[in-house]
C-alpha cells in the first residue's frame, strides 16, 4: 500500500468500519417463530430451543401465542393479529410442520412486499412434491431450508432464486455441496 493509501485506510476506513460494526452490534431485532405447539413433540422442543437461544443473544424472539390477543376477537381476527405481528417483526422463522404454521406461511407468504422477504421456512424434505412447496414456496419464497423430520437435521438446500428449486423428480442438493 502506498503511504497515501495507508493513511486513508487508517484515518477513514478503519474508523468507519469500527463505527458500523458498533451499529450492527447495537441493532435490535424481533424474530417471530411459527411452528408446532406443545403437542408437537420434538419439533416443539426445537421451536423452544430456537427462541431461547435467540433470547440469550439479546434478540426479541417470541411466539405468536405469547403476544397478547386483541381485547375482542370481533375487533381484530386472529389472522389480522398475526398479520400485524408479522409486519412488526424483522424476521419470521417458520417450522412448517403443523396445520397452523403451514397456514401462516400460506396466508402471509404471498405478501411479497411486506412479509415474504422476512420468512425463513424450515420444511420436511418429504414435502417436495406437495402443494405447499409446489404451490407457493417454489414460486417466490427465497428462504427455504429442507430438513429431515423428526430429527430437524439440515438435509438439503435449495437455490435461493424464485422458481429455480428442484422439480418434483429432482433431488435437492446436499447443503455441504452448496
Angle between helices 99-108 and 78-88 (to 10 degrees): 70
pLDDT band at 70; cut points 50, 70, 90: low
Residue 23 clears pLDDT 90, i.e. is over it: no
What was the pLDDT predicted at 36?
86
Percentage, residues of the chain above pLDDT 90? 26
What was the pLDDT predicted at 158?
42
Dihedral Cα 141, 144, 148, 153, nearest 10 deg = -160
pLDDT band at 169; cut points 50, 70, 90: very low
Strand partners, 30: 60
pLDDT tens, 121-160? 877 766 666 666 666 665 666 666 666 665 555 554 443 4
Higher pLDDT, 31 or 71: 31
The pTM (predicted TM-score) of the whole model is 0.67
What was the pLDDT predicted at 174?
39
What was the pLDDT predicted at 143?
64
Is it true that the peptide bond before 150 is cis, omega within 30 degrees of 0? yes
Strand partners, 33: 93
Domains and CATH numbers, the chain: 28-177 (3.40.50)
Amino acid at each position: 500500500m502506498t503511504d497515501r493509501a495507508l493513511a486513508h485506510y487508517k484515518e477513514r476506513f478503519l474508523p468507519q468500519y469500527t463505527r458500523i460494526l458498533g451499529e450492527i452490534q447495537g441493532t435490535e431485532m424481533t424474530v417471530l417463530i411459527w411452528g408446532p405447539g406443545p403437542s408437537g413433540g420434538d419439533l416443539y422442543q426445537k421451536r423452544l430451543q430456537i427462541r431461547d437461544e435467540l433470547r440469550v443473544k439479546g434478540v426479541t424472539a417470541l411466539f405468536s401465542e405469547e403476544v397478547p390477543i386483541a381485547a375482542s376477537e370481533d375487533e381484530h381476527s386472529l389472522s389480522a393479529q398475526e398479520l400485524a405481528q408479522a409486519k412488526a417483526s424483522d424476521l419470521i422463522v417458520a417450522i412448517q410442520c403443523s396445520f397452523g404454521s403451514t397456514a401462516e406461511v400460506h396466508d402471509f407468504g404471498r405478501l411479497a412486499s411486506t412479509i415474504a422477504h422476512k420468512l425463513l421456512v424450515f420444511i420436511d424434505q418429504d414435502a417436495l412434491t406437495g402443494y405447499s412447496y409446489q404451490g407457493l414456496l417454489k414460486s417466490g419464497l427465497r428462504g427455504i431450508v429442507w430438513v429431515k423430520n423428526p430429527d430437524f437435521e439440515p438435509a438439503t438446500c435449495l437455490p435461493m432464486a424464485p422458481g429455480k428449486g428442484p422439480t418434483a423428480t429432482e433431488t435437492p442438493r446436499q447443503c455441504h455441496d452448496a
